[in-house]
């Protein structure tokens, strides 16, 4: 056993145990750790915003820069300041300008790539090609995938009641959806256990030095 002498390891270990104490029942230690975490989150975010964004990207170029184009920075600063209008009933309409710019820019950047990455490539991958049947198991797998794509899409068709052929297809679709959820849930169980294992490794190795 080789207990750590690093005070930060001790603080992390004590806070870990305080949060885990919630599993037994709510208690002041958990509440303290919860509030500390919430406060730290806000404080850390504010400091990061100040030292990683505002100072190097806005203040330093404007105050200490020499490039004449640095004054273009005043435009995004002005747009950002307009969004503070949300806190005033009289001037809350000002937020529409930065919001419109932001949504326009985001849409312009993301819609074409979303089409390519999420629709075209995936649709191409769904279309059954000769090469997909290079071996029988691969062929069966691809047919199952193809049926799943079609029936799942029909489940999310809202313009008609799910009756007749559409209803049957939607019912097959929901089976596929639930199978996918089951796989995803199983993966998540693994993820959650991994986090617990990570914390236990920290406590047993870094803090108490019991394991190698």
Partner 1 sequence: MIMFILLSTITVKAFDTPNDGGKSITIKAYNVPETVKKALVYRKTEGDTTYTLAGVMSILSYRFMDADSTIKNGKPYYYRVDFYFPDTVISVEADSPGIAYAQWYDKTKTSSLIFLIVFSTFVLVFIQLAKKDPEGLYIRKIPALDAIDEAVGRSTELGKPTFFVHGLLGITDAGTLAALTILRRVAKKVAEYDTPILVTNYDPIVMTASQETVKQAYTEAGRPDAYNEKNIIYLTYEQFGYTAGVDGLMVREKPGAIFLQGYFFAESLILAETGHSVGAIQIAGTTAKEQLPFFVAACDYVLIGEEMLAASSYIGREPVMLGSVKGSDWGKVFLLAIIGIGVAIGTIGSILQSAGNGALMNVFEKILAFF
Partner 2 sequence: MGFWDRFLKIDRRWVFLIVWIAVVIPLLKPLGLPTHITPPVKKLYDYIDKMEGEDKAVFLSFDFDPSTMPELLPMGVAVIRHCFAKKIPIIVYGGLYPQGVGMAKMAIDMAKTDFPDIKYGRDYVFLGYVPGLYLVILSIGESIQGTFGNDYFGNRLDTLPLTMSIDNYEKIGIVVDLSGGDIPTWWVAFAYQRYGCRIGCGTTAVSAAQYYPYLQTGQFVGMLGGLKGAAEYEELLVRNGIPTGRRTATIGMDAQSVVHLLIILLIILGNIGYFYVRRRERRA
Query: 166-185: which residues touch partner 1 (CB under 8 A)?
Result: 177-178, 180-182, 184-185
Residue 103 or 210: the one with the smaller Cβ distance to partner 1 is 103
Based on the shown chain and the rule CB under 8 A, indicate whether residue 10 belongs to the binding site for partner 1. no
Query: 97-116: which residues touch partner 2 (CB under 8 A)?
Result: 109-110, 113-114, 116
Which long-range contacts does 190-197 make (Cβ < 8 Å, 24+ apart)? Answer: none
Query: Under DSSP, is residue 161 helix (H, G, I), strand (E, B) or coil?
Result: coil
CA nearest to 10, candidates 206, 196, 201, 199: 206
Residue 91 or 120: the one with the smaller Cβ distance to partner 1 is 120
Name the segment binding partner 2 (CB under 8 A); options: 2-10, 68-76, 119-127, 152-160.
Answer: 119-127
Burial code (b: 16+ CB inside 10 Å, e: under 16) for 63-98 equals eeeeeeeeeeeeeeeebeebeebeeeeeeeebbeeb
Contact set with partner 2 (CB under 8 A): 23-24, 48, 52-53, 57, 109-110, 113-114, 116-118, 121-122, 124-125, 180, 183-184, 187-191, 193-201, 204, 210-212
């Amino acid at each position: 056993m080789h207990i750590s002498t690093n005070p930060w390891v001790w603080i992390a270990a004590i806070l870990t145990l305080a949060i885990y104490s919630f599993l037994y029942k709510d208690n002041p230690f958990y509440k303290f750790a919860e509030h500390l975490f919430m406060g730290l989150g806000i404080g850390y975010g504010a400091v990061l915003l100040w030292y990683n964004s505002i100072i190097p990207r806005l203040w330093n170029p404007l105050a200490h820069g020499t490039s004449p184009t640095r004054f273009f920075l005043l435009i995004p600063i002005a747009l950002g300041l307009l969004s503070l209008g949300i806190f005033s009933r009289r001037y809350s309409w000002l937020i529409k300008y930065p919001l419109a710019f932001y949504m326009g820019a985001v849409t312009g950047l993301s819609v074409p790539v979303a089409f390519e990455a999420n629709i075209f490539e995936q649709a191409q991958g769904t279309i059954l090609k000769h090469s997909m049947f290079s071996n029988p198991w691969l062929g069966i797998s691809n047919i199952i995938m193809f049926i799943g794509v079609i029936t799942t899409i029909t489940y999310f068709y809202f313009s008609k009641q799910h009756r007749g052929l559409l209803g049957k297809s939607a019912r097959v679709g929901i089976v596929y959806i639930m199978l996918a959820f089951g796989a995803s849930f199983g993966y998540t169980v693994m993820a959650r256990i991994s986090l617990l294992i990570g914390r236990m490794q920290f406590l047993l190795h870094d803090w108490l030095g019991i394991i190698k």
